[in-house]
Amino acid sequence: MKISLLFPPSWHPSQPYLSLPCLTAFLDQAGVKQISQRDLNIELLDTILTHSYALEVYEMLVDKLKRLECSRTGETGPGSNEHYARLVEALDRFPHLIDEIEPAKASLRGEQFYGMERYRECLFLIDRWLEVVSAVYFPTRLTVVDNQLSYSIYSSRDILKAIKDEQQNPYIHLYCNHFLQSILQDGPDLIGVSITATSQIIPGLTLCRLIKEADPHIHITIGGSIFTRLVDNLRRCERLFQVADDFIVFEGETALLELVNQLEGNKNFAKVPNLIYRQNGKVMVNQPFYSENLAQHPAPNYDGFPFDKYLAPQTVLPVQFSRGCYYKDCAFCALTLDHQNFRQKDPMKVVDELQSLSAKYQTPFFFFTDECLALSPTRRLCKEILSRKFDIQWTAELRFEKNLSRELLTLMRDAGCHKIVFGLETYNKRMMDFMKKGITQESIQRICSDSVDLGIAVHCYIIVGFPTETEEEALETLNFIVNNTKLNSSYGFSCQPCLFDLEKEAPIMSDPSGYGVQRIMRPASEDLSLGFFYEVREGLTPEQAEKLYQFVYERISEVVCELPFNYSMADGLLYIARHKKQHAPEFTTV
C-alpha cells in the first residue's frame, strides 16, 4: 500500500511542522515502507513567490479587470467597484514587485536574513505581493501565515461552498495547476492530511475535495488538533464526509498504522483507535481514545522535506520531549485536550534522538514543541547534553515554577537553551489565583531576572479579558511588561498579548457560572465552532476587553522587537544564536 502524508497551507514558512515526521517514523518502524510526505505549505508559498507564477497572476489580473470594466455590481464584494479598484491598484504595483519577489526569498534563505532591515523589507515585500495575488480573489486576503475568505471556517455549509468557489478560493487554481498531478502520479492508496490550525481548514479541505474528485478510490483521512477539538461536532456533521473518508482524532500514530492494516485486510474500521468514520449512514466514533507510549516511538523522520525552500538560512527542527501538560489546572487552557495525559520520553533517549537528527539533517537548532517541560527531566536532559559535549541550540516552553532555580537555568543555558517561552497570562495576584495558574509574582520576577542575567531570552504570553478581570488588573500585567526595562530591553525578548476566547474544551466550561460567565451563545449556523460568545456578571465585557486588548497590543509593540522575535520563534532562535556568537563574553554570568 502506498501512503502519502500532506501538510497543507497556511503555516509558518520558517520550519517544518512535527506531525508528519512523527507519523512517518512510526509507520516506517512498523515496517510500512511505501510512505511519502510533503509540506505543501512551503511548496505552495515557494510557488507563489516565483517569476513564472507572477506571470500567471498578471494574466488573471488583466482578465478579471477587463470583465469588471463592463459588469461591476455593487460597491463591495466579488465583482464590485471595490474589487475593480483593488485590481487597478494591484496592476499598478505589479511592475515593481515582480522583480523583487525572488530576490526577497533568496535573501531570507541566505546571509542577508541576519540583517534586520533587509529581513523586515523582505517580509513586507512578500506580504505586499500576496496582497496583489489576493486582488484576483477579492475579498480573500492571503498572508504568509493565514488566509481570510468571506466564508466562516466554523460553518460546515460555508466550508463546503468555499472549497468549490473558484472566484474566491486561490487554492483551487494553485492545486490544480501546480500540485494535484504530482500528488496523484505515484498512485497513493491512502492520503493523510494534517490540519492543525484554523488557517489550514479551507486549504486542507479544498485539497481533499480535489483529490477525491480526481480519484474516488483513494482513501482520505484527516488528522490534527482542529478536528480533535471537534469530536462531538463531527458526530452531527455528516456532510464533511463528502471530502474525506474518515478523521483520526487525538494522537494518530497507532491509529494510522491500524487503518493501513485494515485497508489491506478486512476493512473492520471498528478496530482502528481514535477513528471517526461513517458506516451504514451513521457516524461512528471509536472510543475510548488511545494515548501513545512515547517510549516506543522513534525520532521524527524529516526525509523528503524541502529544507532549501523554508524562508530561513538554517534548519530549525521541531522535536518533542513529552506530550500533554503535567499541570492541567489552568482554567482557560484547551491545549491539554490534544494529548489526554502527560507522558515523557527518557532524557537519554531524547539526547540520542537529538544527536541523530543533528547529524542527519546537519543542524544544531531545535524547537521543543512540548506544552511545558517538566523540571526534573529537563535537569537530566541538560546534564546528559553537557556530559556528551553535544553542541546544540534550542528553545522550549516552561512554567514560572518556584522550583525553576537559577542553578537549573544556568544548566539549561550551558546545555544550549537560548530562549524560554512562558505562559504568564496575568501578573495580577487575584487573577493568577482565579485562573488557577499555580504561580506567584515573586517567582515571575525572579525567573525573568535570572534568565536575563544568564543570557536566556524570555517570551511571555499574556491574556486580556479573562472573565471578571478589571481594567486595572489588566493594566497591572501590561505595566509589568512595559515598565520592566531590564526584561523588555533584553536581547530576544518577546511578548504576545491574546484576547481571551471562551473555548469549548477549556476547564472553565465545566463551571462557567463559577467564573462569572453567563448566557453562553453560539450562532446556529456555526456547527464547527471552537468557541462561544458570552456575557459576564462583572469585570470587563467582551467588547470592553477587545478595546483594551488593542491598547495593550499597541503599548507592548512599543517595547518589543516585533520582527523577528514576536513573529517567529524559529527565526528568533537563529537571531539569538548569531547574537550570542558575536557577543560571547557577555553571557558568562553564573
- Would you say residue 330 has pLDDT above 60? yes
41-45, 456-460, 524-528: range with lowest mean pLDDT: 524-528
Domain boundary among 84, 116, 148: 148
pLDDT of residue 387: 98
Residue range(s) defining the domain that contains residue 26: 3-41+162-285
CATH of the domain at 199: 3.40.50.2300
- How many Å apart are CA 437 and CA 329, to the nearest integer? 7
For residue 479, is pLDDT > 60? yes
pLDDT at 307 over 50: yes
Strands, DSSP E only, in 44-195?
141-142, 147-148, 190-194
**What digits encode the pLDDT tens for the residues 418-429?**
999 999 999 999
Q: Is residue 582 part of a domain?
A: yes
Contacts of 378 (CB under 8 A, 6+ apart): 321, 396, 398, 408, 412
376 shares a domain with 241: no
**pLDDT-derived band of residue 336, with 50, 70 and 90 as boundaries?**
low
Verify that 498 and 445 share a domain, yes or no: yes
Average pLDDT over residues 475-483: 98
Q: Are residues 281 and 320 in the same domain?
A: no
Inside any domain, residue 142: yes
| Res. 459: pLDDT tops 70 | yes
Same domain, 275 and 331: no
Per the domain annotation, does 290 fall within a domain? Answer: no
- Band (pLDDT 50/70/90 cuts) for residue 524 is confident
Structure confidence at residue 354 (pLDDT):
98
Which single residue is written with the C-alpha cell 543570557?
455
Asked if the structure places residue 270 within a domain, the reply is: yes
Distances (CA, A) of 353 to 164, 345, 385: 43, 11, 11
Give the up-direction half-sphere exposure of residue 71: CA atoms within 13 A in the CB hemisphere.
Answer: 8
Cell of 508: 472553565
Query: Is residue 378 situated within a structural domain?
Result: yes
Q: What is the pLDDT of residue 466?
A: 97
pLDDT exceeds cutoff 80 at 272:
yes
Domain of residue 370, CATH code: 3.80.30.20
Q: Do residue 530 and residue 422 come from a single domain?
A: yes
User: Residues 110, 253: one domain?
Assistant: no
Query: How confident is the model over 15-60, as pLDDT tens digits?
Result: 999 999 999 999 999 999 999 999 999 999 999 999 999 999 999 9
457 pLDDT band, cuts 50/70/90, is: very high
Whether residues 199 and 222 fall in one domain? yes
**441 and 320 in a common domain:** yes
Q: Is 391 part of a structural domain of the chain?
A: yes
Give pLDDT tens digits for 368-410.
Answer: 999 999 999 999 999 999 999 999 999 999 999 999 999 999 9
**Mean pLDDT computed over every residue of the chain:** 96
Q: Is the dihedral of CA 259, 261, 267, 271 positive or negative?
A: negative
What strand order describes the sheet that includes 502-503?
502-503, 531-536, 517-521
Which pLDDT score, from 0 to 100, does residue 576 have?
Answer: 98
**pLDDT-based confidence at residue 589 (cuts at 50, 70, 90):** very low
Residue 588, pLDDT above cutoff 60: no
> Quick one: DSSP state of residue 289?
P
Does 409 share its domain with 517?
yes
Whether the pLDDT of residue 439 is over 90: the answer is: yes
Instruction: Answer yes or no: is pLDDT of 89 > 50.
Output: yes
The per-residue pLDDT for 585 is 64
How many domains are there within the chain? 3
Give the residue, 480 or 525, on which the prediction is more confident: 480
Residue ending a domain, choose from 148, 171, 193: 148
Domain membership flag for residue 305:
no
Please write the tens of the pLDDT for every residue from 277-293.
Answer: 999 989 999 999 999 99
Residue 297 lies in a domain: no
In tens, the pLDDT along 93-122 reads 999 999 999 999 999 999 999 999 999 999
Answer yes or no: is pLDDT of 337 > 70. Answer: no
Percentage of the chain lying above the pLDDT 70 cut: 98
Averaged pLDDT, 469-474: 98
DSSP letters spanning 402-437: TT--HHHHHHHHHTTEEEEEEEEE---HHHHHHHT-
> Is the same domain home to 121 and 99?
yes
pLDDT at 590 over 60: no
pLDDT in tens, 138-157: 999 999 999 999 999 999 99
Query: Among 285, 304, 329, which residue terminates a domain?
Result: 285
Residues 396, 430 share a domain: yes
Tell me: do 380 and 484 sit in the same domain. yes
